[in-house]
Amino acid sequence: MDVSFILDSLNDKQRDAVAAPLQNSLVLAGAGSGKTRVLVHRIAWLMHAYQLSPYSIMAVTFTNKAAREMQGRIEELVGVPPQGMWVGTFHGLAHRLLRAHWRDAGLKENFQIMDSDDQLRLVKRIMREMNIDDTRWPPKQVCWFINGQKDEGRRAAHVPDSHDPFSKGMRELYYHYEEACERLGMLDFGELLLRAHELMLTNPPLLRHYQERFRHVLVDEFQDTNTIQYAWLRVMVGEQGTITAVGDDDQSIYGWRGAKIENIHNFTKHFKDVQTIRLEQNYRSTGHILNAANGLIKNNDDRLGKELWTDSGDGEPISLYAGFNEQDEARFIIGIIKKWRDEGAALKETAILYRSNAQSRVIEECLVREQIAYRIYGGHRFYDRLEIKNALAYARLALDPNDDGAMERVINVPPRGIGERSISTLREMARDQGCSMWQAAQLIVDQAIMPARATNAIKGFQQIIDDLMTTVQQPDLSLGDIFEQIINDAGLIPFHEKEKGEKGEARVENLKELIGAAGGFSWNPEDEAFSSPLMAFLDQAVLDAGDAQADEYQDAVQLMTLHSAKGLEFPLVFLTGVEENLFPSKMSFEEPGRLEEERRLCYVGITRAMKKLYITYAESRRLFGSESFNSPSRFIKEIPPQCLEEVRLRSQVSRPVSMQRPDYQTEKARLQNSTVLNNFKAPEVNVNMGDRVKHPVFGEGLVINYEGQGPQARVQVNFDDEGSKWLVLSFAKLEVL
């Protein structure tokens, strides 16, 4: 069979990697050099040149979106969907194994996955039951501790004993948490991995089965695997299988979540006869973008060391924009996007990247004002929204009324007269009797231990859940019908309709969207892992981090944190909030190694851009409820100045930044003094951009913009209490503070 189509569009080194013999291999290469492309082509090669069945291939990616993309690209290349191949994230694949072998894994058949909110709630509940002071043991920190231990593959029993009372207490809480999860049949994200790993270790015949099945395992973004993921890979590959891992040490950005760069160093020790391949040509970005990335990452020590090059020419320099504040920064970005759109570019070619999720709000508001469609990855996920989680909780109860987490969530939503007192009676009864809250409710009703009104309210809730349990058993109802019924029976729509304003409206729309999403959900009845489409849907809702409000194919600007941008590429990229204390984040100054990780994150950000990159920062920023004045990030200074040009305010002319390393304080002063635009003076009032001013009616604010000359001159002031307003300067009676 002619397999040249697989190799045609590759360079020599990529070809070496794709057409390598059936042996372990490690592809180490910088951003945009085609690592993911190599993986996809390697899979096609294994199927065509080595005649391996798709059934014997497992590919691990970092996000669900990447997994879907990979599946699409394989299909495109080989012409048919790769039936039987496992492509997914570590969590997704572990989950699949556990669903298929729940009994061997010591789980309940209908085990539930907890997201981080559920986890936090459970920890709080346990602490309440144990009367533990949550100021001394902040629940979030407890979650952090537990997750960290699981990432290292340690159960409570494996955590070393310590004399330090704090560590002792954490360990104790971990014990109780483990016990509660076991009892409730709940698994957190870390547990999926740990349990799947243990399942393989404790069940040799099963392990043999999978080792024989998956003859070849491929891993993308290998630099970000943590201890337990790496251990699981080693076990799954075993002595017979082979592994292809691709990664880039300069893009390791999950150290804070337990990722181990050492896994790259150990790879050649732990796997036999590893062929290591390096790729150096970048196909993604222009010369300026690439030189900026190279110049920046040079400042890190301990690199495996590689330089990327491109033959695609320098392209446009990177534009640097200093906003007066975060509003001005957002406005500038949206202005550029509109210009791009008007010139015919698609919105989805644009990404706005930020260090912290909270930064998105101002940008979102600006996009909404300008009626530009956008989509957020991660962060406020659709399935994370309150109204959606409530509807899903009802669905969970319909499958298993003993799901205490779901019961606590919705027993009184919408309000039905089951107050906090009744709920704690239920909780106590459940604890005393060692049963679920659902069972406790029945006991309470039977024994009539509550006042009649409270008992009746509980009966009402039982009736709803009983009805829903019947609904979900009906074979002829589609998943969309089931959700419609759930949402109606639970009374969620009238409940939110009563809420005032847009919020309630949006919630109702989201619930309708959920019915739509359920209706469009495709479920493969042959998939051995799930016993019903509803169960598959509920699990996907928890696991899928990628699905946000706009649908995937709609043309929309893409907003995401730098972490979620890994592996992706966009023609136009905005790297925003590039300021000291924000990026690098304040926290990174405290712990050794974290600043380097921030720099790698910046490297990831820069290398997402294909044609044009904007770097923006704000001189003052309101974030997390307070205002700060940060200097531009050190990362900007680390970019070779010849790759950068500064954007002048309100004029489309740009000029190169001085060739000397700019000292940013003087650079700013120079800009403000030398540019007429930046130093606007009206006839009588001397108001500069960035000044704080006082207005007799509106109070204090910051000058963020101006328009016109002489008597027509207007300024835009962002008032602390009144928001932003345009004022005619000669009438406004502004006082400069």
Query: Which residue(s) pair with 727 in the sheet?
Result: 715
The reply, when asked if residue 440 is annotated as ligand binding, is: no
d(CA 654, CA 645): 7
Please state the closest distance from residue 227 (CB atom) to ligand ATP, in A: 22
The active-site residue, picked from 220, 329, 408, 596, is 220
Which residue, 76 or 466, has its beta carbon nearer to ligand ATP? 76
d(CA 80, CA 62): 24
List phi, psi (to 5°) of 233: -60, -45
The active-site residue, picked from 195, 215, 389, 608, is 608
- Spatial contact of 522 and 81, defined as CB atoms under 8 Å apart: no
Query: Pick from Mg ion, ligand ATP, none: which does 283 bind, CB < 5 to 8 A by kind?
Result: ligand ATP
Of 175, 283, 309, 664, the one binding ligand ATP by CB under 6 A: 283
Which residue matches tokens 């109606």? 488
Q: How many residues bind ligand ATP (CB under 6 A)?
A: 19
Q: Does 605 bind ligand ATP (CB under 6 A)?
A: no
What string of H, E and C letters represents the secondary structure of 621-637? EEECCEEECCCECHHHH
- Whether residue 220 lies in the annotated active site: yes
Q: Which of 594, 608, 593 is nearest to 561 (CA)?
A: 608
d(CA 543, CA 91): 8
Q: Which of 378, 377, 404, 382 is nearest to 393 (CA)?
A: 404
Please state the closest distance from residue 36 (CB atom) to Mg ion, in A: 3
Q: Does 665 bind ligand ATP (CB under 6 A)?
A: no
Please state the closest distance from residue 570 (CB atom) to ligand ATP, in A: 11
Of 567, 584, 632, 701, the one binding Mg ion by CB under 5 A: 567
Which residue, 35 or 375, has its beta carbon nearer to ligand ATP? 35
Q: Does 11 bind ligand ATP (CB under 6 A)?
A: yes
Please state the closest distance from residue 36 (CB atom) to ligand ATP, in A: 3
- Whether residue 172 lies in the annotated active site: no
- Whether residue 109 lies in the annotated active site: no
Whole-number Cα distances in Å, 644 to 292, 316, 633, 636:
8, 9, 14, 9
The reply, when asked if residue 35 is annotated as ligand binding, is: yes
Q: Which of 233, 158, 148 is nearest to 189 (CA)?
A: 148
Site string for ligand ATP, 566-595 (x = CB under 6 A): -x-x--------------------------
Whole-number Cα distances in Å, 351 to 122, 331, 556, 606:
36, 15, 9, 11
Q: For the residues of 233-248, what is the DSSP string, one character each?
A: HHHHHTTT-EEEEEE-
The active-site residue, picked from 36, 71, 244, 540, is 36
- Spatial contact of 384 and 510, defined as CB atoms under 8 Å apart: no
Q: Does 10 bind ligand ATP (CB under 6 A)?
A: yes
Alpha helices in 501-624 (DSSP H): 501-519, 533-543, 594-606
- b (16+ CB within 10 A) / e for 686-706: ebebbbebebeebeebbbbbb
Of 24, 25, 33, 36, the one binding Mg ion by CB under 5 A: 36
Of 18, 26, 28, 31, the one binding ligand ATP by CB under 6 A: 31
- Contacts with ligand ATP in 607-646 (CB under 6 A)? 607
The reply, when asked if residue 36 is annotated as ligand binding, is: yes
Please state the closest distance from residue 47 (CB atom) to ligand ATP, in A: 19
- 356, two tokens: 């912290």
Whole-number Cα distances in Å, 453 to 421, 422, 448, 458, 545:
13, 11, 11, 9, 42
Q: Does 35 bind ligand ATP (CB under 6 A)?
A: yes
The active-site residue, picked from 13, 35, 215, 260, is 35
Which residue, 346 or 358, has its beta carbon nearer to ligand ATP? 346
d(CA 302, CA 226): 19
Of 14, 226, 252, 325, the one binding ligand ATP by CB under 6 A: 14
Query: Which residue(s) pair with 647 in the sheet?
Result: 654
692-695 vs 699-707, strand pairing mode: antiparallel
Query: What's the full length of the chain, in residues?
Result: 737
Query: Pick from ligand ATP, Mg ion, none: which does 248 bind, CB < 5 to 8 A by kind?
Result: ligand ATP
- Contacts with Mg ion in 344-373 (CB under 5 A)? none
d(CA 635, CA 509): 42
- Whether residue 389 lies in the annotated active site: no
- Whether residue 350 lies in the annotated active site: no
Please state the closest distance from residue 223 (CB atom) to Mg ion, in A: 11
The reply, when asked if residue 31 is annotated as ligand binding, is: yes
Cα 717 vs. chain centroid, distance in angstroms? Answer: 35
Which residue, 18 or 487, has its beta carbon nearer to ligand ATP? 18
Of 17, 24, 28, 32, the one binding ligand ATP by CB under 6 A: 32
The reply, when asked if residue 32 is annotated as ligand binding, is: yes
Of 6, 20, 26, 33, the one binding ligand ATP by CB under 6 A: 33
Of 248, 249, 326, 349, the one binding ligand ATP by CB under 6 A: 248
Q: Does 285 bind ligand ATP (CB under 6 A)?
A: no
Of 6, 18, 20, 37, the one binding ligand ATP by CB under 6 A: 37
- Spatial contact of 726 and 708, defined as CB atoms under 8 Å apart: no
Please state the closest distance from residue 66 (CB atom) to ligand ATP, in A: 9
- Contacts with ligand ATP in 478-537 (CB under 6 A)? none
Query: Which residue(s) pair with 572 in the sheet?
Result: 350, 612
Query: Pick from ligand ATP, Mg ion, none: which does 11 bind, CB < 5 to 8 A by kind?
Result: ligand ATP
Please state the closest distance from residue 409 (CB atom) to ligand ATP, in A: 38
Q: Does 600 bind ligand ATP (CB under 6 A)?
A: no
- Whether residue 221 lies in the annotated active site: yes
CA neighbours closer than 13 Å in the CB half-sphere of residue 672 = 15
Whole-number Cα distances in Å, 652 to 117, 655, 677, 706, 715:
46, 10, 12, 15, 19
> What's the CA dihedral at 92, 95, 97, 100 to 10 degrees?
-120
Which residues are annotated as part of the binding site for ATP?
A: 29-36
Chain positions contacting Mg ion, by CB under 5 A: 35-36, 567
Chain positions contacting ligand ATP, by CB under 6 A: 9-11, 14, 29, 31-37, 248, 251, 283-284, 567, 569, 607
Q: Which are the catalytic amino acids?
A: 35-36, 220-221, 251, 608
Which residues are annotated as part of the binding site?
A: 29-36
